[in-house]
């Protein structure tokens, strides 16, 4: 999935930020012919831990004749995390992976120095599609290494008052996902029943909450789909009251200490690195960006606006 304009990360920090309840409205973006409300990055916040991108998927109804396709496109320097609440998608990548994604299964692709993937609908399938795609910025120690792909269906589940939690990335409340994590960060699905709940947090991390459905209230704010609720750090718990049952995604992690430069599908550190990746994708350089077994034509990269006409 594609970001549109260049963004850069938070400045390096040594201590976790203070506790907060910042309501950060998402913005409409277009992905695969559909409008999405992108809740990360936004102008006010570029990153939460190593989480640098969050696009809710749907909910929308797919008929058997619809083509729900995101054609082959490249990534560098990030992991894609695809997590569905409803529906099915097929992941294909330049490592030769072909994986059906369904609710409860974690799809995790690590781009490293370069990978290509497509995300396609299942032909003839109809029903409701709902979920989220997240990106994790890779640290300098792994971002130039080989790409990789993982899929996990056995994930830890935890029960709290009025909440069923699934830890799909990283650690939460003493449970850990088996998925690769290059930094300290976590993503947790929270299936919310109505009533009050208290969730344990790690004080050295910062957190953000995304509602995919339902309505809750915490610290005087109503929590609903379409925004990122930035919780800051220095918290050992979050209390909330669920007014309408639904599902939320909790993201957290140690503040990411490397300043990222993010443009289109690339997470890098400099414009120069992005310009090289842009040119290699545009020239169909198969050493950097190998092919994908997909009948779809690859998505062309937009031209970086900082390149002069001769470059």
Residue with smaller CB distance to Mn ion, 133 or 227: 133
Burial of 189 (0-12, 13-18, 19+ CB in 10 A): buried
We find the least distance from the C-beta atom of residue 132 to Mn ion, in angstroms, to be 13
What are the backbone angles phi and psi of residue 192, rounded to the nearest 5°? Answer: -100, 120
Residue with smaller CB distance to Mn ion, 117 or 235: 117
Residue 186 vs residues 114, 168, 169, 175: alpha-carbon distances, Å: 23, 8, 5, 11
Residue with smaller CB distance to Mn ion, 1 or 155: 1
We find the least distance from the C-beta atom of residue 17 to Mn ion, in angstroms, to be 29
- CA separation for the pair 247, 192 (Å, rounded): 6
Residue facing Mn ion at closest CB distance: 1
We find the least distance from the C-beta atom of residue 1 to Mn ion, in angstroms, to be 5
We find the least distance from the C-beta atom of residue 292 to Mn ion, in angstroms, to be 11
The site for Mn ion (CB under 5 A) is made up of 1
Residue with smaller CB distance to Mn ion, 9 or 74: 74
Whether residue 177 contacts residue 168, with contact meaning beta carbons closer than 8 Å, is answered with yes
- CA separation for the pair 303, 311 (Å, rounded): 10
**Which run of H or of E encompasses 271?**
helix 271-282
Residue with smaller CB distance to Mn ion, 1 or 40: 1
We find the least distance from the C-beta atom of residue 76 to Mn ion, in angstroms, to be 11
């Amino acid at each position: 999935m594609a970001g549109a304009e260049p963004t850069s990360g938070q400045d390096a920090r040594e201590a976790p930020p203070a506790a907060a309840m910042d309501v950060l409205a998402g913005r409409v973006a277009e992905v695969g012919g559909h409008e999405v409300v992108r809740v990360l990055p936004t102008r006010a916040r570029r990153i939460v831990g190593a989480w640098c991108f969050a696009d809710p998927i749907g909910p929308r109804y797919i008929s058997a004749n619809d083509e729900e396709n995101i054609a082959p496109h490249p990534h560098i320097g990030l992991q894609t995390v695809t997590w569905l609440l409803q529906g099915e998608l097929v992941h294909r990548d330049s490592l030769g992976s072909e994986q059906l994604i369904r609710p409860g299964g974690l799809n995790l692709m690590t781009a490293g120095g370069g990978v290509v993937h497509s995300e396609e609908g299942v032909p003839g399938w109809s029903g409701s599609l709902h979920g989220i795609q997240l990106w994790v910025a890779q640290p300098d120690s792994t971002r130039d290494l080989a790409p990789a792909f993982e899929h996990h269906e056995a994930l830890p589940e935890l029960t709290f008052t009025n909440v069923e939690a699934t830890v799909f990335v990283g650690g939460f409340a003493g449970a850990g996902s088996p998925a690769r994590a290059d930094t300290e960060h976590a993503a947790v699905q929270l299936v919310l029943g109505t009533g009050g709940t208290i969730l344990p947090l790690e004080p050295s991390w910062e957190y953000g909450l995304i509602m995919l459905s339902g309505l809750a209230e915490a610290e005087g704010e109503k929590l609903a789909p379409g925004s990122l609720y930035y919780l800051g750090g220095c918290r050992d718990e979050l209390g909330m009251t669920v007014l309408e049952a639904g599902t939320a995604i909790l993201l957290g992690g140690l503040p990411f200490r490397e300043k990222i430069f993010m443009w289109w599908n690339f997470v890098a550190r400099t414009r120069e690195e992005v310009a090289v990746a842009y040119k290699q994708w545009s020239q169909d350089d198969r050493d950097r960006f190998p092919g994908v077994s997909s009948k779809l034509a690859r998505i062309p990269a937009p031209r970086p606006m900082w390149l002069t006409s001769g470059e």
